[in-house]
Structure 1
Amino acid sequence: MTGNNLPVDALGPRTEIGSGGQGTVYAVPRTINRSWPVAYKAYNTATLATLDIGALEAMVGYLDALPYAVGRDLCDRAAWPAAVVEEHSTVTGFLMRRIAGEFKPRMRWPAGYREALGQVQFLLNNDQYLAARELPVHDRFRLEFLRDTAETLELFHGLQIAVGDLSPNNLLFSLSSRPRCFFIDCDAMRVRGRSVMTAVETADWQVPAGEELATDHSDAYKFGLLAIRLFAGDQSARDPDVLSRVAPELAALASRSLSTTPGQRPKPADWLAPLDAAIPAASLSLPGQPPGHVVWTAGAGTGTPPHGYVPVPGYPPVARPPQSPPRLPVATRPPARPGYRRGQVRALVTVALIGLGVWIAGPTLAKLTSTGGAPANPGAPAAVATATAAGTGTATGPADDGATQAAAVQRVLEASRTDRARIGGAVSQVAGCGDVSGGLAAFQQASSGRQIELGAARTLDTGALSGGGAVAATLVEALQHSLAADDAFVRWAQAVRDSGCSDASLNNADRHTADAESHQATDAKQRFISAWAPDAQRYGYPVPTEPDI
């Protein structure tokens, strides 16, 4: 921990605005640079137990060392952590900006019109789906989106940042502003070879087996998948030829991106010139309209949606700022740059996490810090933070007694409860042919959460519990089967969506696999509960039921 962390009490009243497998996001009554609303991501205890706190603090400090123009460019494109938050000298989360309105497009739903978070998964659907949602997505927009995403990845890689889990769940789109892309979940990125949390991959977006995760090469592979699936209107397509209709050179780049030899894949920068060449001649025909028919162009004509596609003249800029990464020791917090107060560039970053870009100016940080007082031990090294028991503020060594081991088990269970609840609703959405894409996204998010929980469960030491090794072994077994079920549900939901909810897809082999894995998970959960119940009661934790895991 560092003396620059903010006490949670200084944030003021919090209003929950979302939750997921890693924790809860709150709106807080603060603004950055007197302009942008702020959000606070509070990790749950299971996630905190797996974090490299020093890496999180290094992400915040990294911005201070960048030239101002480069830091601003980074924060225009990603929700970078801007300030670490702590309670009783224990890190609990970080601040970021809330998502801006341009990344919440207005769509039509069965119950009427409403705004939704602009996750790219909405774009990876066929024209019938896009027309039903009244999303004005045409080939020119697709190319502009790819161009801005490639440029953003070029910036990241120049700064030694790898996205890692590049997927349609943590990438947003804008129909009305440039750049048209925005990355969230930045705390999952790898910065200069260091990660806050264990790398995971979204189902159906994995790199070839055995390849290192979270590298420039893995980003290049997934960018190729993104290009293919954006033009195929399909969330699992892999045929590069779909890009031939707009530019053969793009199809060739996509084909090279899927090479099993990482070094043969094109860099994001290699896509820029071909995309720039293809954009001017790209079609403006909208989904659901006959070929060549344009309802509106450049803000003229009729039928322009309130949040429809808006061309941005003069974009991209003629020149972008240099991207050389700062040369700093990983463990050293950089000094303030001459001419800027510490945190002035960081201000740009706080704008961005679950929301999108809010910047915290120096005076704002100073006010937040002074309100809650200094941390109890500002000189404690970052290594201490990673060994701190979540919620206790007490540094501990390896789990060596029943109470400590039981607390570790409980943290995994608390995280798994959220993902289990998400799955139940998703099954109903898909089986009832309702919001199938929403159900698919829930399955993908649950799968990512299960991977984290399974990793945490595999590190459990339960030798001091009365249930002994059976507690950890049965929990790992239950989570393995649950993860396999989640991944099968992902494939099932994709088939249901792609077939228009046909009877065959609703009862396909993937659905049967998901059900079979769920039954095996239930059996393992029952055995886990039997092994865990005596210790749960002994140490004051509720005995879980099967739906809780």
Structure 2
Amino acid sequence: MGRVTLASLGPLGDELGSGGQGKVYALPQSQSPSLVYKAYSEDMLTVLDTDVLTAMIDVPSSLSAHDRQELLAAAAWPRDIVTENDRVRGFTMALVPQRFHTTLKLLNERPVRLGQTQLLLNPPDYLDRVELRIDDQFRLELLADVARTMRLFHRLGLTVGDLSPNNLIYSRTGRPRCHFIDCDAMQLNGRTVLPQVETTDWEVPEGGGALGSTVSDAYKFALLCVRLFAGDQSTTDPSALLRAGPDVHALAVRALSGDAGDRPGLGKWEKQLRNARPVPVEQTVTDTVPSPPIRTSVPSPRAAVSRPPAAPAPTRPRLTRARRRGLVKLVVLSLLLGYVASHTNQIESTARQVTETLFADDDAAARAQAESIASLLASSAPVRDSVKTAVANLAACTNVKRSVTNLGAAASARQRSLTAANGLQITDLPNGATMKDELVSAFTHSKAADDAYRRWGLNLGKQGCRKSTLNGPDRKRGDKESIASTKAKQQFAELWNQIGPEYGHDQVSYQNI
């Protein structure tokens, strides 16, 4: 282990993956162990700290035989620096073992994919659809192994830093196990190979501990526990962990709402997860109390809105067409109770005509208003993916110019959605005023986030990928606005999903607004 030339690797095989830092290629499998090659992008080479990469490669040789075996089994650890014309181009690392791949059912195909944990952070219906069925016992065992592995890292002077479901993979073969990739993004004794970044929705809150510390690792591990049990990519509500028992749930509440100094360490997590047993869902409902709201130092999503928060609109009971018709008949007939009995048939006939005309108009108006919401949602959905890709590229300091352009286009699209949301007339729908407020708030914050991220990208283009620029104020402003937008989208989606299907429209996920 040490340094090898690019030419000595032989012909590069298939591209196995790509991201903001570079690309990973297969190498001839005649080598033992089987290796892959990570080639850094040109942008990354300008900020690469070769000394730290060298120190990382030297870590296994400095360990006891037991610790070395544990580290190499738990991580795709850098093995050799790769050079070309005396210039560092990337490094080799071990090929991820086959047991950390998974088969998915997608339409008529069954592709084999790397078992990234992000696949597991989805609702049960998605997991069933792709035949990725896991139970709570699996979740407990996998999380216990992640805690064990991170304890090893910390003992060796390593911190994960950018802990997210993208760089953590799992095995369903035998006992659940974890495996870390992108290890060059970790910190070694406080030093990094590349500028430390964070995955969107996995950021450490202000006051939550220094990025790349054992304390911030513990915070992100708590998020992983919550989101794996919730089947949700971005929730911070620990209620789902009631299914893991009160002790595990209590750890999550402390980790996410207490101050950094009171945050449970990985040792406590591992112990409780190994002792825990899944709790039936019905018991979490009947035998426990709801989780307290999580308090962090992140400002309230409503704080940035110029208007005061609207009071929740009273929920109007949703009557069926038949019941509403009956009520109108009852009113009409009671008003005419004293009329001559011989005219009763005429009265009923008139009441029927009035009722049908009245509620035909009412249903038509509500249906048209629901259609206007559905059309707005359909037009806004594609923008989110474009923004997520652009932000990820900026965080990795790659494709900066294109990302800035895409964020400008996204901000324009958000403005169009905001204008359309302000123009909605949806008072005939239950909670229509509240839904409109939430949509307006969501698009207001989304546009503000896009604008902030675009300014961030412009600064990166001018000043380069320095640490101060990568984590500058515009990025932080964009993150806060994005969080506020997500909250509003979640509240809107909860209301819309109660009535949309009644008018023939699918339910929506806040992630697609």
Tell me the TM-score normalised to structure 1 length: 0.55
Please identify, of 142-151 and 118-127, the stretch whose mean Cα deviation from structure 2 is larger: 118-127
Aligned amino acid, residue 94 of structure 2:
R
TM-superposed deviation, 1:50: 0.9
Correspondence for 1:248 among 246, 249, 254: 246
Structure 2 unaligned blocks of 5 or more? 282-376, 415-434, 463-513
Q: Does 1:449 align with 2:393?
A: yes
* Residue matched to 1:4: 2
SS of residue in 2 equivalent to 1:167? coil
Q: What letter is aligned with 2:20?
A: G
Task: Give, in angstroms, the shift of residue 228 of structure 1.
Answer: 0.8
Is contact 1:21-1:446 (8 Å) kept?
A: no
CA distance in 1, matches of 2:111, 2:402: 40
The residue that corresponds to 1:463 in the other structure is none
Aligned partner of 2:77: which letter? W
Letter in 1 for 2:34: P
Distance 1:269 1:517, change over 3 A: closer
Q: Within 5 Å, which residues of 2 pair with 1:452-463?
A: 452-453=396-397
2:445, 2:98 → 1: CA distance? 40
- Partner of residue 260 from structure 2, selected from 256, 259, 262: 262
For residue 24 of structure 1, give the secondary structure of its aligned residue in structure 2.
strand
- Per-residue Cα deviation, 1:397-436 (whole angstroms, up to 9, x for no partner): xxxxxxxxxxxxxxxxxxxxxxxxxxxxxxxxx96999x9
Query: For the residues of structure 1 that align with 2:458 and 2:244, how far apart are their CA atoms?
Result: 54
Contact map agreement 1:447 1:483 (CA 8 A) in 2: no
Aligned partner (choices 159, 169, 182) of residue 162 of structure 1? 159
Q: Is the 8 A contact 1:52 1:195 kept in 2?
A: yes
In 2, Cα distance between equivalents of 1:129 and 1:433: 23
Deviation at 1:17, TM superposition (A): 2.5
Contact in 2 for aligned 1:11/1:28 (Cα 8 Å): yes
* Structure 1: runs of 5 or more not aligned: 285-429, 458-474, 489-502, 532-549
Structure 1 distance, partners of 2:48, 2:460, is: 26
Give the Cα–Cα distance (whole angstroms) in 1 for the partners of residues 389 and 210 of structure 2: 22
Aligned to 2:86: 89
Structure 1 contact 102–177 (Cα < 8 Å) conserved: no
2:53 to 50, 53, 56: 56
Q: CA deviation at 1:98?
A: 2.1
Query: d(CA) in 1 for partners of 2:18 and 2:61?
Result: 29
Aligned AA (1:17) = L
Superposed CA deviations along residues 425-473 of structure 1, whole A, max 9, x for unmatched, are xxxxx96999x9xx9898656533312328x98xxxxxxxxxxxxxxxx
Deviation at residue 176 of structure 1 after TM alignment: 0.9
Q: 1:431 to 1:69 in 2, by over 3 A?
A: farther
CA distance in 1 between partners of 2:204 and 2:454 (Å): 30
Structure 1 residue aligned with 2:417 = none
Per-residue deviation, 1:484: 9.5
Aligned counterpart for 2:214 among listed residues 199, 216, 219: 216
Contact 2:394–2:457 (CA under 8 A) maintained in structure 1: no
Could you tell me how far apart the structure 2 residues matched to 1:193 and 1:528 are? 24
Opposite residue 23 of structure 1, the aligned amino acid is G
Q: CA deviation at 1:188?
A: 0.3
CA distance in 2, matches of 1:55, 1:26: 23
User: What is the root-mean-square deviation of aligned Cα atoms in Å?
Assistant: 4.0
Output aligned runs, 1:92-111, within 5 Å: 92-111=89-108
CA shift in 2, pair 1:25/1:481, >3 Å: same
Q: Secondary structure at the match of 2:148?
A: helix
* Counterpart residue number, 2:353: none
**Structure 1 contact 169–441 (Cα < 8 Å) conserved:** no
1:125–1:234 contact (8 Å) kept in structure 2: yes
User: CA offsets per residue over residues 105-143 of structure 1, 9 Å max, x none?
Assistant: 111112432222211111111111111111121010000
Question: Which is helix-richer, 1 or 2?
Answer: 2
Which residues in structure 2 correspond to 1:39-50 (within 5 Å)? 39-50=36-47
* Worse-superposed segment, 445-454 or 212-221: 445-454
Aligned amino acid, residue 144 of structure 1: E
Mapped to 2, the partners of 1:433 and 1:135 lie a distance apart of: 30
In structure 2, C-alpha distance between the alignment counterparts of 1:207 and 1:136, rounded to whole Å: 30
Task: Tell me which amino acid in the other structure corresponds to 2:213.
Answer: T
Distance 2:105 2:159 in 1: 35
Cα separation, 1, equivalents of 2:379 and 2:114: 23
Corresponding position of 1:126: 123
Distance, in Å, in 2 between the alignment partners of 1:215 and 1:232 is: 26
Q: For residues 41 and 482 of structure 1, do their structure 2 counterparts lie closer, same or farther at Cα, with a shift above 3 Å needed? A: farther
- Within the candidate set 113, 126, 131, 1:116 is matched to 113
Matches within 5 A, 1:238-317: 238-259=236-257, 261-279=259-277
1:191 maps to a residue whose letter is L
**Do 2:387 and 2:407's aligned partners in 1 also have CA atoms closer than 8 Å?**
no
Q: Determine if contact 2:75/2:183 at 8 Å carries over to the other structure.
A: yes
Cα separation, 2, equivalents of 1:189 and 1:524? 24
CA shift, 1:521, in A, is 8.0
Which of 214, 225, 228 does residue 226 from structure 2 map onto?
A: 228
Deviations, residues 18-40 of structure 1 (Å, cap 9, x unaligned): 2222111111114553xx42110
Partner residue of 1:139 out of 132, 136, 140:
136
How far off its partner does 1:208 sit? 1.2
Distance 1:191 1:482 in 2: 37
Q: Is the 8 A contact 2:226 2:235 kept in 1?
A: yes
Which residue of structure 2 lines up, in the alignment, with residue 191 of structure 1? 188
Work out whether residues 75 and 181 of structure 2, in 8 Å CA contact, stay in contact via their aligned partners in 1.
yes
Cα distance change, pair 124–433 in 1 and its aligned pair in 2 (3 A) = farther
Return the alpha-carbon distance in structure 2 between the equivalents of residues 483 and 168 of structure 1: 28
- TM-score relative to the length of structure 2: 0.59
Query: What letter matches 1:450 in structure 2?
Result: L
Q: Which amino acid aligns with 2:3?
A: N
Amino acid at match of 2:22: G
For 1:239 and 1:518, the matched residues in 2 are separated by 26
Match of 2:72 in 1: 75
CA contact under 8 A between 1:253 and 1:266: conserved in structure 2?
A: yes
**Structure 2 SS opposite 1:230:** helix
Count the aligned residue pairs: 344
User: Offset at 1:234?
Assistant: 1.1
- Tell me how far apart the structure 2 counterparts of residues 147 and 9 of structure 1 sit (CA, whole Å): 42
Q: 1:108 aligns to what SS in structure 2?
A: coil
The residue number in structure 1 matching 2:312 is none
Percent identical: 39
Deviations 1:45-87 (A, max 9, x none): 1011011111001100111101121111011111110111111
